[in-house]
Every structure is written in structure tokens, then in C-alpha cells.
Amino acid sequence: MSQKQCILYDRPCTDCGECDFCELDPKKRCDNCMKCVNGDAEYRAVFIDSVEGSKEA
């Protein structure tokens, strides 16, 4: 069984929880408000380089 990869650093996941916190306010747990993506611009883009999920049999 392979260990999950950290999405922030080049290392295996250590379940530290750092990826669950807000980019704009590091004291706040992310609640998907999308302020980090939307901001005040009329248009923003997010590039997705991979999608992870479980394989279904």
C-alpha cells in the first residue's frame, strides 16, 4: 500500500492538517468561501494538473 502524497510539499502526507487552512487567513480552517480564487477580478482561472480519486472495481 502506497502512502498518500502531500499536496503542499514534496514528501509523503504526515496528516499535519496544514492543507485544511485558509490561504488568506492561516488561522481559519478552509470553508470553501472561494475568496482566494475569486478576489475582486472579473475572471480567474484555476489550472488542474491531476484529479485524484479511488478506483472503482
Q: Which of 13, 17, 18, 16 is nearest to 2 (CA)?
A: 13
Give the pTM. 0.49
Sign of CA dihedral 45, 8, 13, 22: negative
CA distance 3 to 24: 29
Tens-binned pLDDT, residue by residue, of the chain (57 aa)? 578 899 889 999 999 989 899 888 889 999 988 888 776 666 667 788 888 877 665
How is the chain split into domains, by residue range? 1-48
Query: What is residue 19's three-state secondary structure?
Result: helix
